[in-house]
Amino acid sequence: MAIIEVEGLWKIFGGNPERARTLAKEGKSKAEVKAETDSVIAVNDANFGVREQEIFVVMGLSGSGKSTLLRCVNRLIEPTFGAVKVHGEEVTAFDEDRLRELRRTKMSMVFQNFGLFPHRTVMGNVEYGLEVAGMDRGQRREKAQQSLELVGLDGYGDSQTSELSGGMQQRVGLARALVNDPEILLMDEAFSALDPLIRADMQNELLELQEQWDPACTILFITHDLDEALKMGDRIAIMKDGGIAQIGTPTEILTEPADEYVRSFVENVDRTKIVPARTVMRDLRDDETVPADGPSVSPHTPIAELLPTLLDADGPLAVRDSDGPLRGVVSQEAVMKEVVENADGARRREARAGRTEEEPETAVA
């Protein structure tokens, strides 16, 4: 069941929003609407549902409206038209008190540039949400401590945030967001400001954390990085000019791009490096067994990385969560199919590139 539902959501800045919406519905482009009404359409009729406990990624280039869309969900930005519902309740109709209650108990947010409070210690940052909610000092210290341990910052409580590296600052941001056990985590380009290596670490840790949580957080994740979207997302929405171009699983986005825009995005992706084991994984058949202490990979391992292990394995390869339980198996056929499809894609791309290069010659001839 969808925990967040976004229905017919528009955000239009300035000018004449009613008219801008009408024009946009008639098919006028963003620039045309701007010229005619002086309105800037940031979000154009967004519709989607986020299922409980999934990671839903909204991907788009800068200016595509993805951050505005995210802020409409917790109403840091008021949507112009449309509704946002959480558990079926219309958040967009909440008064100030109910909205605050929602933000304090159910929904929290992680920011691109961390948004930490420099006048507070790490502990002071993490406990902020509990403090404003009125929890007493001892209790909130204890919860903040647990949250710090969860993100691997045990012992840093008394540090100043300015003493920490970027990666660690964002861990503080994450701990601060997790401290009130939110059901929904909004992440606005949360890892985009980090070094590539640290970014990969944080992505993996978030995926692991999300698996360990019970019940798991629902994550609405914003990024401009397709690799990140494919790695993190259970489902991905691709945004273009404020509208949603396609919603689908990583595999669907890669194999069945809805339009030219999405196709141009995904065509240069080496899928074997992105598509994780879990997307080609199937359940263990009754006539099969995998040794308990045999080789295994995590559900997030990209196919390219599991190839050597798979070649060594006798039969299907076990896919296990980090703490041990079997999630499924990956067979050589499934992986081979994926590799072939990827190679097909590459060949088609080369063919197309070759054609465009040849064109001038044909013209001369």
Partner 1 sequence: MRLDLGDAFAALIEWLENNFEPLLDAITIAIGATIEGLEQALLFLPSWVMILLFTLLAWWVASRGVAAFSLIGFTLLENVEFTLFGLDVAFGMGLWELTMQTLALIVTSTLLSLLIGIPIGIWAAKNDVVDTVTRPILDFMQTMPAFVYLIPAVVLFSLGEVPGVIATFIFATPPCVRLTNLGIRQVSEEAVEAAQSFGSTPRQLLFKVELPMALPTILAGINQTVLLALSMVVIAALIGAGGLGEPVVEGIQQLRIGIGFEGGLAIVILAIFLDRVTQAIGEKAGTTTQAATG
Rg of the Cα trace of the chain? 23
> Minimal distance in Å, beta carbon 4 to partner 1?
15
The H or E element that residue 107 is part of is strand 107-110
Binding mask 136-165 for partner 1 (x = CB under 8 A): ------------------------xxx---
If one asks whether residue 119 binds partner 1 (CB under 8 A), the answer comes out as yes
Nearer to partner 1, 35 or 132 (CB): 132
Tell me how far apart the alpha carbons of residues 115 and 343 are, in angstroms, rounded to a whole number.
43
Structure-block tokens of residue 247 = 């919603």
> Minimal distance in Å, beta carbon 86 to partner 1?
14
Q: Are 167 and 195 in contact (CB under 8 A)?
A: yes
Binding mask 181-200 for partner 1 (x = CB under 8 A): -----x--------------
> Minimal distance in Å, beta carbon 289 to partner 1?
49
Tell me how far apart the alpha carbons of residues 331 and 350 are, in angstroms, rounded to a whole number.
29
If one asks whether residue 128 binds partner 1 (CB under 8 A), the answer comes out as yes
Q: Could you say which of 71, 235, 271, 327 contacts partner 1 (CB under 8 A)? A: 71
Nearer to partner 1, 105 or 251 (CB): 105
Stretch that binds partner 1, among 130-138, 239-247, 258-266, 295-303 (CB under 8 A): 130-138
Neighbouring residues of 351: CB distance < 8 A, sequence distance ≥ 6: none
If one asks whether residue 74 binds partner 1 (CB under 8 A), the answer comes out as yes
Q: Where are the alpha helices (DSSP H) in 83-178?
A: 96-105, 122-126, 128-132, 137-150, 166-178
Nearer to partner 1, 133 or 284 (CB): 133
If one asks whether residue 103 binds partner 1 (CB under 8 A), the answer comes out as yes
The H or E element that residue 354 is part of is helix 332-364
Taking Cα atoms as reference points, which of 257, 225, 244 lies closest to residue 68?
A: 244
According to DSSP, the residues that pair with 152 across neighbouring strands are none
Does the CA dihedral 304-327-247-212 come out positive or negative?
A: negative
Footprint on residues 308-327 left by partner 1 (CB under 8 A): none
Stretch that binds partner 1, among 9-17, 111-119, 197-205, 325-333 (CB under 8 A): 111-119
Stretch that binds partner 1, among 127-135, 234-242, 269-277, 335-343 (CB under 8 A): 127-135
Footprint on residues 162-181 left by partner 1 (CB under 8 A): 162, 176, 180
If one asks whether residue 114 binds partner 1 (CB under 8 A), the answer comes out as yes
Q: Are 300 and 231 in contact (CB under 8 A)?
A: yes
Tell me the number of residues near partner 1 by CB under 8 A. 31
Distance set, CA 84 to CA 73, 168, 193, 196, 305 (Å): 6, 32, 28, 34, 40
Site residues (CB under 8 A) for partner 1? 71, 74, 76, 100-104, 107-109, 111-119, 128-129, 131-133, 160-162, 176, 180, 186
